[in-house]
Structures are given as structure tokens and as C-alpha cells.
Structure 1
């Protein structure tokens, strides 16, 4: 088939077209709930800033949904640079919003869940109709969109009292973009209830038709997080009363005023604990670094209490999960510039949040334990019993292993724990990097196996010949599983690590080593991939050293995975007003150049590292790619592929 590939073949998607072409990149497409959540989040940001105390949400009989608040109202004047009304700009232009400039004070919000400025523009793009009514400055304004385009320009439609301000947005979702046209009512109710919980004094209402008649639910929690967590524990027995506290930083707006956390926490007598977390009122059902900060604060507080009172039995060592396993909590973090995993904001990834939330929660928790020793001893008792159960479980797992003893590789630095559910093995490129990794690891649960040079391409090597290569032999013995095929049923009882992570340099050679190791696991250890044991670590390529900015802004070290992240960090520093001579950029030549603390923070610590699990979705496609890349007789196919696709490569050489 002939194809005409010319300059005219290149398309540039403008306006909201990228959202319409790939809606899944910007929102969840199972139902229109999330695009309406974007509008609710904007109303909640007004409440978070102290400008609104009421949010009314109504599901209409025609399938549309409206959100009304009594905030300041979206500005209706002309934008000084874009030459269009601001209310039109924020609904029709990606990356336009009032939540970017938080450091200088020029933005509309000090705190918000929005970051990228794509929220309500995505809502507009995926709606067949969207109506906006703004009450501001004693006037009522209206603008209407259809399929993301203006069909009724902004116009004044009436008058109102000067104190009557706010915004009402009515959304008519386009069913073409969603698996189901119906709203997820349970998710919507949970979201609205959470807004009322996290903002004391806020009244939230949801009105929807029930048997043809409107029915209204109202949420208002005068007791805040404490009362909400109590309501969640109706079917569980708490070992100690719910403890609630909040701790925010003070200072001027330029010193991150008000960053911190509010939380409520207790421990359960039986069963596993559960928690809910939020960032700037945005639910984070997958957790993230703020939950890790609360976990760290709880661990330090309980661990210090146990040591101070001499409660720890001999031979027992507390771990973070022992303390947090039965904890039930609600956490609300407030961050100036949150970084989320994807536009749906299900998980917080801001590394600074871990230290911030940990610092904000540690002191109130320690004070609580020391002021209420009986409660502290009860929590300590639960944590110690959890640790003892973990040790017993590890011994049971050991008994299931075969009696045959393999001599572990001499260069393997093993971990202390024998519980594969928490053990991790890092396959590290080079002896120098292995030395840094040994110092950076958690010796209780993390093992290091340095690899010398590049592993053999094992794609077409017979299983019986694998152990002729020393590196592959050491990997197989360290892992504890024999080589096998995709259709085999190997004995995984000898598996020694629950996570096996490839840790190589962030350059071309490192990528090649990753491919060689993935080839080994794909071809000769496929059950490890199938069961979710194989991971790839992503160390950074750049480090940015930022000088101290006065007494309240200490020096910082920021890390970038690639050039795109580096550009984003530098742009953020410029927005903060950091001058070019106040920071420096250095490039890591390899893992061996990184200090142990840097390697720990960026590649090994469970709460701050980037660790990607290896999964195979399309078996046939994956097999074809491996044959093309690693097959010995495929040189011509590789060359043709590189000639055709080489201009698309984005790598650091």
C-alpha cells in the first residue's frame, strides 16, 4: 500500500481538539462524573480560599448537572493579553487558569487542587452544551458553549445586589465520550460529603430527581474530621478515642503560608485499618506521598514512645506497617503546588509532601501519646502484636521452601528479613553504583546484586546453556527460581524477593541493560512478570541545586528524570523569582556518581522513588517487538525500523 508522507501529513490539534481526540488522557471516561467534579472542585477552591460557604449541586431531569456557589464569580472582563473575556478563556483554552502564580501572590488562589489549568476546559470540550452564569459587581452575566465553542457570547442579562456574587455552571455531558451517560451517584455523594467534612462551616447540597420529584441531601459537619471519622467507624471498634489535630506553617504568603495538614486518626481492635486522604480538598483514593508522611509521623511517634517506656520485647523490631496496619484515619493536606499522577488526581506524587506532612503530624501525635500514656500503651500493644504476627508468618514461609541449599553469590548483599512480601532485590549496573546502593538501602528489606558489564542477550539462548553466563547464574540463584518457559508451571516456593527491581543509569547504556534484563525475565522467567514481581527503577538524570532564599527558604536539591522535567523545574523556579545565578544544574554521568542519600531519595526509598511494574498486556505484540529487537536474524528488520522511526526517538546520548 502506497502512502504519501509529506509536509501536509503533519496535523496540529488546536484549541480543545486534543481533548476530543483523546479524552482518556484528560479524564475518566467510564461516566461523566469526573468532568463534573472539575466544576465542583473549582467551587470548593473558592470555599478553601474563604470566599464561599455554600455549594449547591443539582442533577436535572434532562441529564444535565449544575453547580452553584456564592464565591467571587469568575472575572468577566477582557484578558489583558488574549483579547477575550476571561470567563470565555478559562472554558475554551487548555492551560488557562488562576492557580498557577502562587508564589508571587499574583494568582487568584493560594491553595487549590488545580495545577495544569485544563479542568473546566476539558469539561467544556466533552459537553454538548455548557452554560455559565456569573454574578459579580452587581451584574448578572451569561455565556453559552456547544461542543467547546461559544454559541452565545458573553452578555449582561440582569442586575443583582452587589453582595450577591458567585458562579453557576450547567453541564450537558456528551454521551459519545463516555461508557455510560449516568452519573456515579455514590462517588458524587462521597465527593460532596468530603468537601463539607474538610471545610468546617461549608454547607453542601445535592438535589436530584427521585420518582419525578426533587430530593435534596445536605452535608454540614461542625465537628470536622473528628466527627467524620467517627461516622466512618460505626461498624468497627476503636481501641482508643479518635484524635484530631491540625498544624499549618505560618508566615507571609511568599513563605508558603498555611501549608501543612489536618488529620484525625485512631487504631482498631480487630481487622485492617482504612483511610481517606485529600489534597486541597481533592480526594486521592490511591494515596500518595502525603499518606506516606502521616505513616512516617505515626511510626516515629509510636516508636519513640515504645523506646521511652521500654515496651519492646527482645527480638522484635517495629516497622512502619506494624504501626499503621490497624490505623483508621482521615488526612487533609494543604499544598501550594501539588503534583498528581495524571489529570484525574487519584494519587499525590509531590516529594516535598512527605516531609511536610510528616513534620506537621509528628509533634501533635507525640504530644498526644505522652499526655495519654494509657492510650499510648494500647497503641504500642497493637503495633507489637502486629510485628510478632509478621515474624511468625515469615517463619512459616521459610518452612515451605525446599531443603536444598544453594550457595548465594558472593557479591550479593542480602537483606535481614525473610518475608518475601516486603523483600526487594535491586539489580544494579556496575560495582561503583552497587557500592552507593549498599549504603543507601534499607538493610532490613532491601538486597543489592551489582552486575558487571552487560548481561548476555538470552533471547535465543537455550535454557540449559543459561548458567554458562556468570551474571545470569548469579541472578537466578539470588532470586531463588529456576528458569522456565511461558507454558511451564515452575515452583515459586523458593522465591526470595517479592520485588526484583532493575536499577541502571538514566542514559543509553542504562536503557540497553534494562532491555537485556527484561529479555532475560521475559524469555526465561515469565512467571515472575506474570505475578508482578519485576520492576524498573527510574533514577534521575539531572540535579538542580537551589541556593537558600533568605532565612525561611533553605537550600534545596531538586531532581529531574529527563530534559522535559528539568525544563519544568527551571520554569517553576523562575516563577518563584529565583534568579539564574541562584541555582545550578548538574547531570549525573551514572548511578555511581550519586551520593547514597541522593540514590536513596530518588530510586530506593518506597515513598519517594519511581518504580514501574513490568506488565504484558498484548502477548503477541510483545513477542513481535522482542523478536525484532533481540533476534539474531533480524538485523535487516531492525535497520528498516530504525530508518523509519529513528526521528521519533527521545533519549539522552
Structure 2
């Protein structure tokens, strides 16, 4: 055995039997307390407090609350108060418990399901699956809830992470007042810092005021002397008032453009779905903020992609209509939108987020939703305000010309001594390293589909025949005897190098992203592993610099017919069996019968139509790709020694006996 590997001996194995008693079922809020990072951010309690604030904001979004008040106390607790309808306190007809108890102690219980059937309490909300405030309870030492509803004041508390539930008591008369007050004491054991970061809370509350015109948002912070310092936000002009405030003093290329649009009864989207936006261009200032149903999406997502696509198409059409584009210049989206400042607020009936903290929107339909609603009104505005339209066009054209000059400089540095590129490489047209992407694709058949699906401007395709050689124990001087590895190195413009190599080894890198795209099956996983082995052993600086990615093509597709005039025929994609089950459950709730859901399994990338491959794995707006990161070369090398080394068969067997149950494998 190699030193440093965790390979238990026979005595350890005897003590760690793997049988029926090894399984543990987590109940109630135990999953949250055991793995808090799966449900919320653990750097601070900010996100678990945000869950409470979001509930108050959903009441305002639904039109039932006009005031949201947050108080931060010196003991670390936070209280959130709204004048909405008040959470129901009566018994649930099925569960037999007060609804307020279900909301704060049961995962996947809430009033934001069944939106399409009309049985939801909220048409549009950030809450999706009833996890939010239950997580807050699980990670708090105490939660106190006061509800003013139907003329009465009701109080209840939850302590010790929800393990203790106090009695629901009637505490007096509320008169005509309604609303909910929740005070939370975060449990510092679950967070890197037990304090709520005030800058994040202030930014969050200000954004709620921006997105809810006319709603008064207040923040009180307890001071050392026991008094409270107050801040208030209220934006009568909503998005435009906020963006004007944030860009005050900066010189604008053109006036702010604001607008909003929402679907009606006879459109391709559900009634009420749509977006509000405000954007502009400023010298030296750039701001980009987006929201979905009032939830801040700090990592952006498909709604931002739709905004940029709509703005780009409108400006491009204006430039072509007025004949403004100089000969030899080609406008790209980043030329138009790269320096744009915007605030975007989208409304989706059933948004799909990346992770429970909802930092990024993944709903593919949001691209078309926002772009289609924005493009034509903005193009009309440009043509009605030709002076401003030409100023925006001139800015974009200058940016494109500057990009072309930079590309020519790069080409001059490359021109001497460059190797002949592989004949099977379908290269991209752009010379911008930051935009260019190289797809390493399994097989010629899949390569053909990828070539038809790609964006020729920025995406290159290199088909690989069969499985790449296991290069873990091959000397760097002998690597190029393998044709596939030779072609990969030449296409990248990077030679094999050791982990301690300097950044200079990436000086001739031709692509900002190298994306491995293999079939979503066992063979595809094997090819991914062999390529990762190659890059870790012989091109580690590519990984450390963040250039290596893995595409996640779907394994299944689900087709459903149109639902009257409101919903056209749709297609969904699933990465695995779990996601397929989730999609089918969602469609069943929408009213589709089992026989209406046509499910197909992709045998490989080559079987996918180019349009399907583009949507799921190649279009930056809708694809799924994962970055390959490396926290420590030494630790990773030890594991790959065990897994890929030719003389490590006995070590692999011991490792599989000890840890095989922890591995997710499709066998």
C-alpha cells in the first residue's frame, strides 16, 4: 500500500460492518441539522433570515402587505414583521396540525405549490418546495411567531432547532390588524460567523423596496445604548428610480430605457408571467442586478441571458436598418451588452433555481420569455429616438472594432512557429481567448451533431475516436505517440507540463474554455475519467486556471402535447432517473396523464438532433456545464495513483471494499 492512503486493514473492517443496521433514516428537520450546507449558506445566518423576509415580500407581491419591518437586536436575533394576511393557524385538513406548525417544522410543506391548478395561495413567489422557514427553524435556538388574523393574536414558539414546539395560544384581540411577526435566534454552531451581515441585509431590503413600488421597507438596528437606528426605503418609481440613484453623476450614453410586459390569456406563457426592466449605458459605472419573484439571483441565470439577447437583437436590427455597420466589422452580443447596467425583475409561475439558496435561475423558458417581450418594444424605442439609438450603436461598433484590433495583436504573436492544427478540428472564427470554447466530443457521430449545433463564431469541435489512452503513468516525452493526445495538445496550443510550471505554459492557449462532452452513460463517464486523468497529470495548469469544464448532456427527454391555447407542446430534458421522476411528477400536477408523457432515452450524443444538443449542452444561455476545480494537486494525485495506476489493483480493491458504498455509479 502507498503511504497516506486511507485503506483500512482487516481489523478495521471487522469493526465497521456494512449491514442493515448501517442505514439511518433522518426524520423531521434532522437532514437540515446534519447537512446545513445543502439547504442554506453557512458563512453567516443571512440566507436563513432572508427566507423569513422573502415570505413577507411574497405577501407584498401578492398585494396584501404595504409594510415590511426588520429589527436586528444586539443578542443576534432578528425580527421580521409584515401587515399581510397572517399565516393560517387552523388545523390542516389532512395532517391534523396547525398550519403554522407545519410551515415552521415540516420540510416540503407550504402554500406555494399547485400554482397551475389554482389552489396555491401565491400565483408568483420565490418559494418552490416548502423548505425555507423550516430550515430557519432547524438552524435556530429559538423561533417566535406572532400571527394577527381574523381579529385575534396567536403566538407560538419553536426551540432547540425545532425539537421543542410550544403551545399555540390566543394572546389577545387584533382588531382589524393582520400580519405576521417572526423573531429568530440563529444557532451559531452552524455558521462560520453567528452575526447577520448588515451590508447584505441592507442591500436585500433595499432591493425589496425597489421591486415593490409603494411598499415601505424599514430596518431598525439596536445600538449599544438600547436605542434603534432606522433606515427606510420606498421607491415610487421602482426600477428606474433605483438605477438612477445608483448611477447618479455618471455620464449616460442615452437615457434609461424602462418597461415591463406580462403574458395574457392567449400567449405562449402562463398568464402573468413576464418581466420588468430598466437598463442603460454609463461611462465608468456598471451595475447588474436581477431578481425572480423578488428573489435576488446574484449569479444571474437564464432571465439575464434573455435580457441580453433581446437588447442585442434590437440594437443589431437598428444598426442594420440604418446601415451603420462599417465593412469588415461584425457585432457580437458582448459588444452591445458588455458595459450595460441593468435591473431586471422576472415573474415566473414555476421557476427552477440552481440550489436551495436560489442564486441562479435555470428555467430555460425564461430566455424566450424575457427576450421576446423586450426586443420589439426596445427596437421601436430606438427607431423613435434615432439620436439615442445611434449613440448606443456607435458605442457598440467602437467596442467591436477594439475587439478586432486586440484579436489581430494576438494573431501576430501566434503566427511564428505554430503547429499545424489537426485536420478533424472544426475551429471557431473568433480570436478572442476569453470567448472561445473547445468541445472535446466523444466519437465522429456526436462530433457531426456538435458541428451543426455550435456557434461557429466562438465554439470549436474536436471529435475523439474511441477512448483516450490512460496517460497517468506515461512519460511526457512519449505522450505524442498517441494521435488523440497529440491533437488535443496542438489544438489547445499548450504543451504538457508539470504542476509547478509557470503561467507562461498557457501563453499560447487558444481557448478560454475546454469542455469535455461525452455520452451520459457508463462509457461516457469512462471517457471523462480518462480525459481528466490526462489533464491532471500532464496539463494541471489548465485546471488550476479554471479553463476545464464538463458538459452535462441529458439522458432522457420528455415530450408532452399542448394544453389548450395557454401552453404549446413542450419538451423537457433530464440528466438522470431522479430528475426524470421530478419532471414527471411536475407534469402530473399540471394535469398531464401518464400516457400523454412520451419519454425517450438518448443512446448517445450522436442520436440527438443538433437543436437538442445545442439547447442542452452548447448554448451558453440554456446548457448545463460544470467547472473542474482542483483544491490540491498532491491529494488529487494520490487518489489518481490509486484509481488509475497499473500496479494498484490490490489497493483499488481494498478502497472499494472500504468506501465503495459512497460512490455514485451507474453499473
Q: TM class, shorter-chain normalised?
A: over 0.9
Q: 1:151 offset after TM fit, Å?
A: 3.9
1:450 maps to 2:463? yes
CA distance in 2, matches of 1:579, 1:225: 42
CA contact (8 A) 1:338 1:350 kept: yes
CA distance in 1, matches of 2:405, 2:576: 44
CA distance in 1, matches of 2:34, 2:664: 24
Map 1:234-249 → 2, pairs under 5 A: 234-249=248-263
Q: Which segments of 5 or more consecutive residues in structure 1 lack a partner in the other structure? A: none
CA contact (8 A) 1:428 1:502 kept: yes
Map 1:619-634 → 2, pairs under 5 A: 619-634=633-648
Structure 1 outlier segments of 4+, above 6 Å? 252-255
CA contact (8 A) 2:469 2:530 kept: yes
CA contact (8 A) 1:38 1:120 kept: yes
One of 614, 623, 628 as aligned partner of 2:628: 614
One of 216, 228, 232 as aligned partner of 1:214: 228
Q: Deviations over 1:171-194 (max 9, x none)?
A: 111122222222211111111111
- The change in CA–CA distance for 1:60 and 1:272 in structure 2 (over 3 A counts) is closer
**DSSP 3-state at the match of 1:81:** coil
CA distance in 2, matches of 1:608, 1:255: 18
Q: Which residue of 1 aligns with 2:127?
A: 114
CA distance in 2, matches of 1:274, 1:203: 24
Q: Which residue of 1 aligns with 2:538?
A: 524
Q: Which residue of 1 aligns with 2:507?
A: 493
Map 1:246-261 → 2, pairs under 5 A: 246-251=260-265, 256-261=270-275
1:101 maps to 2:114? yes
- The change in CA–CA distance for 1:646 and 1:4 in structure 2 (over 3 A counts) is closer
CA distance in 1, matches of 2:222, 2:661: 55
One of 188, 199, 214 as aligned partner of 2:201: 188
One of 73, 80, 92 as aligned partner of 2:86: 73
Give the TM-score, by structure 1 length: 0.97
Map 1:600-611 → 2, pairs under 5 A: 600-611=614-625
Q: 1:252 offset after TM fit, Å?
A: 8.8
Q: Which residue of 2 aligns with 1:3?
A: 15
1:386 maps to 2:399? yes
CA distance in 2, matches of 1:457, 1:279: 45
Q: Which residue of 2 aligns with 1:138?
A: 151
- The change in CA–CA distance for 1:359 and 1:504 in structure 2 (over 3 A counts) is same
**DSSP 3-state at the match of 2:474:** coil
Q: 1:638 offset after TM fit, Å?
A: 2.2
Q: Which residue of 1 aligns with 2:350?
A: 337
Q: 1:313 offset after TM fit, Å?
A: 0.6
CA distance in 2, matches of 1:252, 1:365: 23
One of 583, 593, 608 as aligned partner of 1:594: 608
One of 274, 291, 299 as aligned partner of 1:278: 291
CA distance in 2, matches of 1:160, 1:135: 6
Q: Deviations over 1:420-442 (max 9, x none)?
A: 11111101000010000000000
Q: 1:38 offset after TM fit, Å?
A: 0.6
**DSSP 3-state at the match of 1:496:** coil
Q: Which residue of 2 aligns with 1:159?
A: 173
Q: 1:153 offset after TM fit, Å?
A: 1.2
CA contact (8 A) 1:142 1:157 kept: yes
- The change in CA–CA distance for 1:330 and 1:443 in structure 2 (over 3 A counts) is same
1:414 maps to 2:413? no
CA contact (8 A) 1:103 1:253 kept: no
CA contact (8 A) 1:103 1:576 kept: yes
Q: 1:475 offset after TM fit, Å?
A: 0.8
One of 132, 135, 141 as aligned partner of 1:128: 141
Q: Which residue of 2 aligns with 1:513?
A: 527
CA distance in 2, matches of 1:61, 1:253: 51
CA distance in 2, matches of 1:621, 1:257: 53
Q: Which residue of 1 aligns with 2:446?
A: 433
CA contact (8 A) 2:243 2:343 kept: yes
Q: 1:150 offset after TM fit, Å?
A: 3.5
- The change in CA–CA distance for 1:219 and 1:339 in structure 2 (over 3 A counts) is same
Q: Tell me which moved more, 395-404 or 577-586.
A: 395-404
- The change in CA–CA distance for 1:402 and 1:416 in structure 2 (over 3 A counts) is closer
One of 638, 645, 652 as aligned partner of 1:638: 652
CA distance in 1, matches of 2:604, 2:186: 49
CA contact (8 A) 1:540 1:562 kept: yes
CA contact (8 A) 1:402 1:494 kept: no
Q: Deviations over 1:132-153 (max 9, x none)?
A: 0111111111111112134421
CA distance in 2, matches of 1:501, 1:151: 50
One of 484, 495, 498 as aligned partner of 1:471: 484
Give the TM-score, by structure 2 length: 0.95
Q: Which residue of 2 aligns with 1:351?
A: 364
One of 77, 95, 101 as aligned partner of 1:82: 95
Q: Deviations over 1:226-251 (max 9, x none)?
A: 11110010242111111110001122
Q: 1:648 offset after TM fit, Å?
A: 4.9
**DSSP 3-state at the match of 1:398:** helix
Measured on the aligned residues, the alpha-carbon RMSD in Å equals 1.6
